[in-house]
């Protein structure tokens, strides 16, 4: 059986090649891919061959995939032909996957949402480590896929206000659509604006840019005894000397929690909490609203307007 897949033959070169799909046997499952999800940070870094990425080519990229079972091996017990499944798959029209690497997709969850399963597991791990308490302020640095997922999870955890920071106006508009309480563009007065909105600094700062230059900024935005989550997977070598100096200066003010960037661990995390991830993916298709417990929507909007005028913010 012939199929097609994406291949990076050398840095910055993307091609589609034909390949022969092997016969399935044992606990193997043949799946026809419906959607694959691109991880912009990791896959872009690998394609451009940025520092700290593999130098071996060709590479067959991929991160998350959703599809339909076409055939199963004689020892497969969990799946049958026609089942919808997700897996950590490549950008390929077909895949042969071991049964243990597949997860079932609920009938009411669309393919376009189910394919986010692996990225939401990464964001979920970071937000859980933050241990956000009701009413604590949260700053999310980076409004990409991981950042937007972390932002929504922070709101579900009771964070208030939840503030998105990014260079891109387009990304900040997406943050507004998922009900970020405030959106800020990176600027010289960012520290002052965050301090004003959070009454002295954020309880939690989630770094989701993948840029090592954002790590010192994350510490600056955190308040005394705040928590800093390093969720982004950096594609460049970090200036550990600068980071060490920053941590030393803030060690009595902030507690740094680093999330491992080895995303190969995520599959085991997904398997252990798949029901939670399914529910979250289903709920993310609905608007997420969070109101101040001490004010009506009208007075809350007025409060936001006043803060926007003070700090020149772009808010929802």
Give the residue among 74, 73, 75, 59 at the shortest CA–CA distance from 31. 73
Predicted model pTM = 0.76
CB atoms within 10 A of CB 83: 16
In this prediction, residue 40 carries a pLDDT of 80
State yes or no: pLDDT of 137 exceeds 80.
yes
Is residue 267 packed enough to be buried (19+ CB in 10 Å), middle (13-18) or exposed (0-12)?
middle
The whole-number pLDDT of residue 44 equals 87
Distance CA 98, CA 243 (A): 41
For tokens 């594609």, the residue is 235
CATH number of the 120-263+279-311 domain: 3.40.50.720
What is the architecture of the domain spanning 2-115? Alpha-Beta Complex (3.90)
Indicate the pLDDT class of residue 271, thresholds 50, 70 and 90.
low
| pLDDT computed for residue 309 by the predictor | 37
% the chain with pLDDT above 90? 59
Q: Report the C-alpha gap between 143 and 150 in whole angstroms.
A: 9
**pLDDT surpasses 80 at 61:** yes
Quickly count: other Cβ atoms within 10 Å of residue 94's Cβ.
18
The full set of domain ranges for the chain reads 2-115, 120-263+279-311
């Amino acid at each position: 059986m012939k199929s097609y897949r994406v291949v990076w033959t050398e840095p910055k070169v993307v091609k589609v090649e034909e390949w022969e799909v092997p016969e399935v046997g044992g606990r193997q499952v043949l799946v026809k891919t419906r959607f694959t999800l691109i991880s912009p940070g990791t896959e872009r870094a690998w394609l451009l061959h940025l520092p700290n990425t593999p130098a071996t080519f060709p590479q067959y990229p991929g991160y998350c995939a959703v599809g339909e079972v076409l055939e199963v091996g004689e020892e497969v017990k969990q799946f049958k032909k026609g089942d919808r499944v997700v897996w950590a798959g490549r950008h390929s029209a077909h895949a042969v996957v071991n049964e243990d690497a597949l997860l079932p997709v609920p009938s009411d969850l669309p393919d376009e949402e189910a394919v986010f399963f692996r990225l939401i597991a990464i964001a979920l791990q970071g937000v859980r480590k933050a241990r956000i308490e009701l009413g604590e302020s949260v700053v999310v640095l980076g409004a990409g896929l991981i950042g937007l997922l972390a932002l929504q999870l922070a709101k579900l955890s009771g964070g208030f206000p939840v503030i998105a920071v990014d260079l891109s106006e387009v990304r900040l508009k997406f943050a507004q659509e998922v009900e970020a309480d405030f959106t800020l563009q990176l600027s010289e007065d960012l520290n002052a604006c965050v301090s004003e909105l959070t009454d002295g600094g954020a309880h939690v700062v989630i770094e989701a840019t993948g840029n090592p230059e954002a790590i010192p900024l994350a510490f600056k935005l955190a308040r005394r005894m705040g928590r800093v989550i390093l969720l982004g997977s950096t594609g460049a070598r970090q200036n550990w000397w600068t980071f060490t100096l920053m941590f030393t200066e803030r060690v009595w003010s902030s507690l740094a929690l680093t999330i491992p960037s080895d995303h190969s661990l995520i599959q085991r995390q997904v398997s252990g909490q798949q029901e939670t991830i399914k529910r979250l993916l289903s709920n993310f298709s609905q608007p997420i609203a969070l109101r101040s417990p001490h004010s009506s929507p009208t007075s809350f909007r007025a409060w936001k307007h006043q803060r926007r005028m003070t700090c020149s913010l772009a808010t929802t």
